[in-house]
Copies of this chain bind each other. A is one copy, B any other.
Amino acid sequence: MSSGEPLSALCSPALVVDVDKVKRNAQRMMERCHQLGVQLRPHMKTHKTLECADIMTGGSRRCIVVSTMAEATFYADHGFDDILYAYSLPFDKVERCAALSERLDLFQVLLDHPDALERLRKRPLKGGRRWHADGVELTGVYAHCGNTYNCEGVEQIQAVAQETTSFTLQFMEKLKAVGISCRSSIGSTPSCSHPVPDMGKLSEVHPGNYVFYDVQQSVIGSCALEDVAVRVLTRVVGHCPHRNQLLIDCGWTGISLDGAGKLPSGYAMIEGHPDLKLLSMTQEHGRVEPISGPLDCSKYPIGSLLTLIPYHSCAAAAMHPVYHVHSEGRLMGKWTPTRGW
Protein backbone atom coordinates (compact mmCIF):
# COMPACT_ATOMS: atom_id res chain seq x y z
CA MET A 1 0.00 0.00 0.00
CA SER A 2 1.64 3.25 -1.10
CA SER A 3 1.21 6.51 0.72
CA GLY A 4 -1.39 8.79 -0.83
CA GLU A 5 -3.62 6.00 -2.08
CA PRO A 6 -7.34 6.11 -1.29
CA LEU A 7 -8.82 3.96 1.49
CA SER A 8 -10.42 1.78 -1.17
CA ALA A 9 -6.92 0.47 -1.99
CA LEU A 10 -6.92 -1.41 1.33
CA CYS A 11 -7.87 -5.04 1.64
CA SER A 12 -10.69 -5.45 4.13
CA PRO A 13 -11.40 -5.72 6.95
CA ALA A 14 -9.10 -2.86 7.95
CA LEU A 15 -9.07 -0.50 10.90
CA VAL A 16 -8.54 3.03 9.61
CA VAL A 17 -7.61 6.04 11.72
CA ASP A 18 -8.36 9.62 10.67
CA VAL A 19 -5.21 11.34 11.91
CA ASP A 20 -6.75 14.82 11.66
CA LYS A 21 -9.55 13.82 14.02
CA VAL A 22 -7.03 12.17 16.36
CA LYS A 23 -5.01 15.37 16.49
CA ARG A 24 -8.13 17.47 17.01
CA ASN A 25 -9.43 15.24 19.80
CA ALA A 26 -6.00 15.29 21.48
CA GLN A 27 -5.63 19.06 21.09
CA ARG A 28 -9.06 19.75 22.53
CA MET A 29 -8.34 17.61 25.59
CA MET A 30 -4.99 19.36 26.14
CA GLU A 31 -6.69 22.77 25.88
CA ARG A 32 -9.52 21.71 28.19
CA CYS A 33 -7.03 20.57 30.84
CA HIS A 34 -4.93 23.68 30.39
CA GLN A 35 -7.97 25.88 30.97
CA LEU A 36 -8.94 23.87 34.04
CA GLY A 37 -5.40 24.09 35.36
CA VAL A 38 -5.07 20.33 35.71
CA GLN A 39 -2.32 18.06 34.38
CA LEU A 40 -3.37 15.66 31.60
CA ARG A 41 -2.04 12.11 31.93
CA PRO A 42 -3.43 10.36 28.83
CA HIS A 43 -4.24 6.64 28.92
CA MET A 44 -2.67 4.47 26.21
CA LYS A 45 -4.97 1.43 26.47
CA THR A 46 -7.24 2.34 23.53
CA HIS A 47 -4.55 2.47 20.82
CA LYS A 48 -1.24 1.16 22.34
CA THR A 49 0.88 2.79 19.62
CA LEU A 50 3.89 5.12 19.75
CA GLU A 51 2.53 7.53 17.17
CA CYS A 52 -0.73 8.15 18.98
CA ALA A 53 1.11 8.46 22.31
CA ASP A 54 3.25 11.19 20.78
CA ILE A 55 0.14 13.06 19.68
CA MET A 56 -1.54 12.67 23.09
CA THR A 57 1.54 13.85 25.02
CA GLY A 58 2.26 16.68 22.59
CA GLY A 59 5.57 14.98 21.85
CA SER A 60 6.84 15.11 25.46
CA ARG A 61 6.75 11.31 25.92
CA ARG A 62 6.10 12.01 29.59
CA CYS A 63 3.16 11.48 31.93
CA ILE A 64 1.11 8.57 30.59
CA VAL A 65 -1.10 5.78 31.96
CA VAL A 66 -1.02 2.19 30.77
CA SER A 67 -3.23 -0.85 31.41
CA THR A 68 -0.69 -3.66 30.99
CA MET A 69 2.98 -4.28 31.71
CA ALA A 70 3.40 -4.99 27.99
CA GLU A 71 2.40 -1.37 27.33
CA ALA A 72 4.61 -0.09 30.16
CA THR A 73 7.64 -1.91 28.78
CA PHE A 74 6.86 -0.95 25.18
CA TYR A 75 6.68 2.75 26.05
CA ALA A 76 9.70 2.62 28.38
CA ASP A 77 11.70 0.94 25.60
CA HIS A 78 10.88 3.89 23.34
CA GLY A 79 11.93 6.69 25.64
CA PHE A 80 8.70 7.36 27.49
CA ASP A 81 8.88 8.14 31.21
CA ASP A 82 6.63 9.03 34.13
CA ILE A 83 4.48 5.99 33.44
CA LEU A 84 1.59 5.07 35.72
CA TYR A 85 0.59 1.40 35.61
CA ALA A 86 -3.12 1.75 36.35
CA TYR A 87 -3.70 -1.74 37.68
CA SER A 88 -3.83 -2.74 41.32
CA LEU A 89 -0.42 -4.33 41.81
CA PRO A 90 -0.61 -7.85 40.37
CA PHE A 91 1.51 -10.12 42.56
CA ASP A 92 2.87 -12.07 39.58
CA LYS A 93 4.34 -8.90 38.08
CA VAL A 94 6.16 -7.37 41.07
CA GLU A 95 9.57 -8.21 39.63
CA ARG A 96 8.71 -6.62 36.28
CA CYS A 97 7.38 -3.56 38.10
CA ALA A 98 10.59 -3.40 40.13
CA ALA A 99 12.71 -3.53 36.99
CA LEU A 100 10.84 -0.59 35.46
CA SER A 101 10.97 1.33 38.75
CA GLU A 102 14.75 0.92 38.79
CA ARG A 103 15.11 1.93 35.15
CA LEU A 104 12.75 4.89 34.72
CA ASP A 105 12.78 8.29 36.39
CA LEU A 106 9.24 7.64 37.56
CA PHE A 107 7.19 4.45 37.38
CA GLN A 108 4.03 4.46 39.47
CA VAL A 109 2.09 1.42 40.63
CA LEU A 110 -1.34 1.23 42.26
CA LEU A 111 -2.07 -0.41 45.59
CA ASP A 112 -5.52 -1.16 46.96
CA HIS A 113 -4.78 -3.81 49.58
CA PRO A 114 -2.39 -4.10 52.56
CA ASP A 115 -1.03 -7.38 51.12
CA ALA A 116 0.20 -5.46 48.09
CA LEU A 117 2.16 -3.08 50.32
CA GLU A 118 3.79 -6.12 51.91
CA ARG A 119 4.79 -7.39 48.45
CA LEU A 120 6.55 -4.12 47.66
CA ARG A 121 8.33 -4.08 51.02
CA LYS A 122 9.62 -7.59 50.33
CA ARG A 123 11.23 -6.37 47.10
CA PRO A 124 13.26 -3.24 47.94
CA LEU A 125 14.48 -1.37 44.88
CA LYS A 126 18.16 -1.15 43.96
CA GLY A 127 20.19 2.04 43.67
CA GLY A 128 18.53 3.70 46.64
CA ARG A 129 15.25 4.06 44.77
CA ARG A 130 11.82 4.01 46.35
CA TRP A 131 8.58 2.54 45.05
CA HIS A 132 6.23 5.26 43.86
CA ALA A 133 3.04 3.95 45.27
CA ASP A 134 1.93 3.40 48.76
CA GLY A 135 5.21 1.96 49.92
CA VAL A 136 7.89 4.27 51.00
CA GLU A 137 6.61 7.08 48.79
CA LEU A 138 2.88 7.66 48.44
CA THR A 139 2.56 9.47 45.12
CA GLY A 140 -1.15 9.97 44.99
CA VAL A 141 -4.72 8.76 44.99
CA TYR A 142 -6.19 7.33 41.78
CA ALA A 143 -9.88 6.96 40.95
CA HIS A 144 -11.74 6.03 37.78
CA CYS A 145 -15.29 7.30 37.44
CA GLY A 146 -16.30 4.35 35.30
CA ASN A 147 -19.92 4.99 36.22
CA THR A 148 -19.92 7.85 33.68
CA TYR A 149 -20.39 5.04 31.15
CA ASN A 150 -23.97 4.66 32.38
CA CYS A 151 -24.70 8.32 31.66
CA GLU A 152 -26.65 9.86 28.84
CA GLY A 153 -26.02 13.53 28.19
CA VAL A 154 -23.76 16.22 29.58
CA GLU A 155 -25.85 16.86 32.69
CA GLN A 156 -25.59 13.27 33.92
CA ILE A 157 -21.89 13.09 33.03
CA GLN A 158 -21.15 16.25 34.99
CA ALA A 159 -23.11 15.02 38.00
CA VAL A 160 -20.88 11.93 38.16
CA ALA A 161 -17.77 14.02 37.48
CA GLN A 162 -18.72 16.35 40.32
CA GLU A 163 -19.44 13.47 42.70
CA THR A 164 -16.15 11.70 41.96
CA THR A 165 -14.21 14.96 42.21
CA SER A 166 -15.86 15.87 45.52
CA PHE A 167 -15.24 12.41 47.03
CA THR A 168 -11.62 12.54 45.92
CA LEU A 169 -11.05 16.08 47.21
CA GLN A 170 -12.70 15.22 50.56
CA PHE A 171 -10.41 12.23 50.84
CA MET A 172 -7.41 14.44 50.08
CA GLU A 173 -8.52 16.74 52.93
CA LYS A 174 -8.68 13.79 55.31
CA LEU A 175 -5.19 12.72 54.28
CA LYS A 176 -3.97 16.27 54.76
CA ALA A 177 -5.50 16.35 58.24
CA VAL A 178 -3.29 13.43 59.24
CA GLY A 179 -0.24 15.03 57.66
CA ILE A 180 -0.23 13.26 54.29
CA SER A 181 0.08 15.36 51.18
CA CYS A 182 0.01 13.73 47.78
CA ARG A 183 -1.38 13.95 44.24
CA SER A 184 -4.88 13.10 43.01
CA SER A 185 -5.92 11.67 39.67
CA ILE A 186 -9.35 10.84 38.26
CA GLY A 187 -10.28 9.72 34.83
CA SER A 188 -12.80 8.61 32.25
CA THR A 189 -13.33 10.08 28.84
CA PRO A 190 -16.91 11.23 29.53
CA SER A 191 -16.01 13.28 32.63
CA CYS A 192 -12.89 14.77 31.03
CA SER A 193 -14.80 15.63 27.85
CA HIS A 194 -17.24 17.66 29.97
CA PRO A 195 -15.24 18.60 33.08
CA VAL A 196 -16.67 20.44 36.08
CA PRO A 197 -14.67 23.39 37.45
CA ASP A 198 -13.78 21.53 40.68
CA MET A 199 -11.68 19.11 38.60
CA GLY A 200 -9.18 21.99 38.45
CA LYS A 201 -8.45 21.29 42.12
CA LEU A 202 -7.20 17.81 41.29
CA SER A 203 -3.56 17.21 40.38
CA GLU A 204 -4.30 15.40 37.15
CA VAL A 205 -6.87 13.57 35.00
CA HIS A 206 -6.29 10.39 33.00
CA PRO A 207 -8.78 9.84 30.13
CA GLY A 208 -7.83 7.66 27.17
CA ASN A 209 -10.62 6.71 24.79
CA TYR A 210 -11.15 10.38 23.75
CA VAL A 211 -8.37 10.18 21.20
CA PHE A 212 -10.47 7.83 19.08
CA TYR A 213 -13.94 8.15 20.66
CA ASP A 214 -16.64 5.75 19.37
CA VAL A 215 -20.38 5.24 19.06
CA GLN A 216 -20.65 4.42 22.76
CA GLN A 217 -19.10 7.79 23.65
CA SER A 218 -21.44 9.59 21.28
CA VAL A 219 -24.44 7.87 22.91
CA ILE A 220 -23.14 8.83 26.38
CA GLY A 221 -22.72 12.37 25.12
CA SER A 222 -18.93 12.68 25.41
CA CYS A 223 -18.58 13.62 21.75
CA ALA A 224 -20.41 14.08 18.48
CA LEU A 225 -20.47 11.17 16.07
CA GLU A 226 -18.31 13.21 13.69
CA ASP A 227 -15.52 13.27 16.33
CA VAL A 228 -15.07 9.49 16.10
CA ALA A 229 -11.64 8.97 14.51
CA VAL A 230 -11.74 5.24 13.71
CA ARG A 231 -13.64 3.07 11.27
CA VAL A 232 -13.53 -0.54 10.19
CA LEU A 233 -13.62 -0.84 6.41
CA THR A 234 -15.47 -3.89 5.14
CA ARG A 235 -16.78 -5.18 1.84
CA VAL A 236 -19.95 -6.93 0.76
CA VAL A 237 -19.03 -10.56 0.04
CA GLY A 238 -22.45 -12.13 -0.36
CA HIS A 239 -26.13 -11.56 -1.02
CA CYS A 240 -28.64 -13.66 0.89
CA PRO A 241 -32.03 -12.43 -0.38
CA HIS A 242 -33.71 -15.54 1.11
CA ARG A 243 -32.64 -14.28 4.54
CA ASN A 244 -33.02 -10.56 3.65
CA GLN A 245 -29.31 -10.20 4.46
CA LEU A 246 -25.96 -9.10 3.12
CA LEU A 247 -22.75 -10.85 4.10
CA ILE A 248 -19.75 -8.62 4.81
CA ASP A 249 -16.10 -9.56 5.34
CA CYS A 250 -15.96 -8.23 8.90
CA GLY A 251 -16.55 -10.85 11.57
CA TRP A 252 -15.74 -10.65 15.26
CA THR A 253 -12.02 -10.78 14.45
CA GLY A 254 -12.52 -7.41 12.74
CA ILE A 255 -14.58 -5.40 15.23
CA SER A 256 -15.09 -7.54 18.40
CA LEU A 257 -18.36 -8.63 19.96
CA ASP A 258 -18.58 -5.55 22.19
CA GLY A 259 -21.86 -3.64 22.08
CA ALA A 260 -24.24 -6.59 21.82
CA GLY A 261 -27.81 -5.39 22.21
CA LYS A 262 -26.82 -1.76 22.74
CA LEU A 263 -27.69 -0.12 19.41
CA PRO A 264 -30.63 -0.34 16.99
CA SER A 265 -27.92 -0.74 14.34
CA GLY A 266 -26.42 -3.79 16.09
CA TYR A 267 -22.70 -4.22 16.78
CA ALA A 268 -21.72 -1.00 14.98
CA MET A 269 -23.15 1.86 12.97
CA ILE A 270 -22.85 1.56 9.20
CA GLU A 271 -21.81 4.99 7.96
CA GLY A 272 -24.26 6.53 5.54
CA HIS A 273 -26.70 3.63 6.00
CA PRO A 274 -28.79 4.36 9.10
CA ASP A 275 -31.32 1.84 7.80
CA LEU A 276 -28.89 -1.11 8.14
CA LYS A 277 -27.98 -3.25 11.12
CA LEU A 278 -24.91 -5.43 11.82
CA LEU A 279 -26.99 -8.25 13.23
CA SER A 280 -24.43 -10.94 14.05
CA MET A 281 -20.95 -12.16 13.25
CA THR A 282 -18.93 -15.32 12.87
CA GLN A 283 -15.14 -15.38 12.84
CA GLU A 284 -14.78 -13.78 9.40
CA HIS A 285 -18.31 -12.83 8.33
CA GLY A 286 -20.88 -10.29 9.39
CA ARG A 287 -24.60 -10.50 8.66
CA VAL A 288 -26.22 -7.19 7.74
CA GLU A 289 -29.94 -6.66 7.41
CA PRO A 290 -32.32 -3.71 7.18
CA ILE A 291 -33.56 -2.44 10.55
CA SER A 292 -36.99 -2.87 8.96
CA GLY A 293 -38.39 -3.77 5.57
CA PRO A 294 -36.96 -5.61 2.59
CA LEU A 295 -33.34 -5.43 1.47
CA ASP A 296 -32.49 -4.22 -2.03
CA CYS A 297 -29.31 -6.20 -2.73
CA SER A 298 -28.70 -4.30 -5.97
CA LYS A 299 -27.75 -1.25 -3.88
CA TYR A 300 -24.86 -3.21 -2.37
CA PRO A 301 -22.95 -4.97 -5.17
CA ILE A 302 -20.54 -7.76 -4.25
CA GLY A 303 -17.20 -6.12 -3.56
CA SER A 304 -18.59 -2.72 -2.59
CA LEU A 305 -17.25 -1.00 0.51
CA LEU A 306 -19.14 -0.37 3.74
CA THR A 307 -17.73 1.62 6.64
CA LEU A 308 -18.39 0.55 10.22
CA ILE A 309 -18.20 3.00 13.13
CA PRO A 310 -17.25 0.83 16.13
CA TYR A 311 -19.42 0.72 19.22
CA HIS A 312 -16.28 0.50 21.36
CA SER A 313 -13.03 1.62 19.75
CA CYS A 314 -10.81 0.03 22.45
CA ALA A 315 -12.35 -3.37 21.65
CA ALA A 316 -12.30 -2.92 17.87
CA ALA A 317 -8.68 -1.72 17.88
CA ALA A 318 -7.65 -4.68 20.06
CA MET A 319 -8.54 -7.03 17.19
CA HIS A 320 -6.14 -5.43 14.69
CA PRO A 321 -2.39 -6.06 14.39
CA VAL A 322 -2.02 -2.81 12.43
CA TYR A 323 -4.01 0.42 11.98
CA HIS A 324 -4.09 2.22 8.62
CA VAL A 325 -3.74 5.97 9.07
CA HIS A 326 -5.20 8.48 6.65
CA SER A 327 -5.77 12.18 6.20
CA GLU A 328 -8.89 13.13 4.30
CA GLY A 329 -9.15 9.61 2.92
CA ARG A 330 -5.56 9.40 1.64
CA LEU A 331 -3.37 6.75 3.27
CA MET A 332 -0.37 8.08 5.17
CA GLY A 333 1.10 4.99 6.85
CA LYS A 334 0.56 2.34 9.49
CA TRP A 335 0.60 2.32 13.27
CA THR A 336 1.51 -0.93 15.02
CA PRO A 337 0.10 -1.48 18.52
CA THR A 338 1.70 -3.57 21.23
CA ARG A 339 -0.28 -6.57 22.47
CA GLY A 340 -0.33 -9.04 25.31
CA TRP A 341 0.51 -8.55 28.98
| Chain A positions near chain B (C-beta within 8 angstroms) | 10-14, 45, 67-69, 87-88, 90-93, 96, 112-113, 115-116, 146, 235, 237-239, 249, 252-254, 256-258, 260, 282-284, 302-303, 314-315, 318-322, 339-341
Is A11 a contact partner of B314 (Cβ separation < 8 A)? no
In chain B, what residue has the closest Cβ to A91?
A: B303
Point out the residues of chain B lying under 8 angstroms from A341, CB to CB. 11-14, 254
Q: In the complex, what distance in Å separates the CA atom of A282 from the CA atom of B312?
A: 11
Point out the residues of chain B lying under 8 angstroms from A11, CB to CB. 69, 90, 92-93, 96, 341
Point out the residues of chain B lying under 8 angstroms from A69, CB to CB. 11
Point out the residues of chain B lying under 8 angstroms from A254, CB to CB. 341
Point out the residues of chain B lying under 8 angstroms from A340, CB to CB. 320-322
Point out the residues of chain B lying under 8 angstroms from A13, CB to CB. 341
A281 to chain B, nearest CB (A): 10
Of A14, A235, A257, A314, the most chain B CB neighbours within 10 A belong to A257
Point out the residues of chain B lying under 8 angstroms from A93, CB to CB. 11
Q: In the complex, what distance in Å separates the CA atom of A88 from the CA atom of B68?
A: 38
In chain B, what residue has the closest Cβ to A146?
A: B282
In chain B, what residue has the closest Cβ to A113?
A: B302
